[in-house]
A = this chain, B = another copy of it.
Amino acid sequence: MSQQNTELKKAGLKATLPRIKILEVLENNGHLSAEDIYKELIKLDQDIGLATVYRVLTQFEAAGIVIKHNFEEGRAVYEIVPDEHHDHMVCIDSGEIFEFHDDVIEKRQAEIASKHGFEIVDHSMVLYVKKLK
């Protein structure tokens, strides 16, 4: 029994071929849009409909398997939920996406929220950057 198979069962989802393949694609590439995944699947000779990709991604998100990001491109990108939380830095010239994590910021965010009488459920932080000359 494959690794993906187990992960899906654990989430209460039937281990179907589309779901296994989509999980594989996400594990081998980070930050893909639904369309990106669809194209990857075609490259792998998997005849999976785009609608299915969307449906599966929605289920994966609900199951906590993937995170959906809305960067500023008008389409969502997905990544497997990382073991350790991280934020993103997007290079506006190359489009590359870097990940980072900073405890000082995380701690400060929690303090700010609680000072206002809230607790943090989730957060998103994206730095749009360009290379230093």
By a beta-carbon cutoff of 8 Å, the part of chain A in contact with chain B is: 68, 70-72, 89, 91-92, 98, 100, 102, 104-105, 108-109, 112-114, 116-132
- For A109, the chain B residues whose CB sits under 8 A away are 105, 127
Given A100-B116, A105-B109, are A124 and B125 neighbors across the interface (CB < 8 Å)? yes
Please pick, from B104, B123, B131, the residue contacting A127 in the complex, using a CB distance under 8 A.
B123
A125 surroundings in chain B (CB, below 8 A): 123-126
Determine the chain B residues whose CB is within 8 A of the CB of A120 once the complex forms: 127-129
Interchain CA distance A123-B70 in the complex, whole Å: 13
Cβ contact within 8 Å between A119 and B102: no
**A119 to B89 alpha-carbon distance, docked (Å):** 10
| A113 in contact with B131 given A89-B118, A104-B104, A108-B104 (CB within 8 Å) | no
Contact assessment for A128 and B117 in the assembled complex, using a CB-CB cutoff below 8 Å: no
Residues of B contacting A89 in the complex (Cβ-Cβ under 8 angstroms): 112-113, 116, 118
C-alpha gap A82/B125 in the complex (Å): 19
Closest residue of chain B to A124 (Cβ to Cβ) is: B126
A119-B132, A120-B128 are known; give 9 further A-B pairs, CB within 8 A: A68-B72, A70-B70, A89-B118, A114-B132, A118-B129, A118-B132, A119-B129, A121-B128, A123-B128
- Select the residue from A102, A123, A128, A129 with max chain B CB neighbours within 10 A: A129
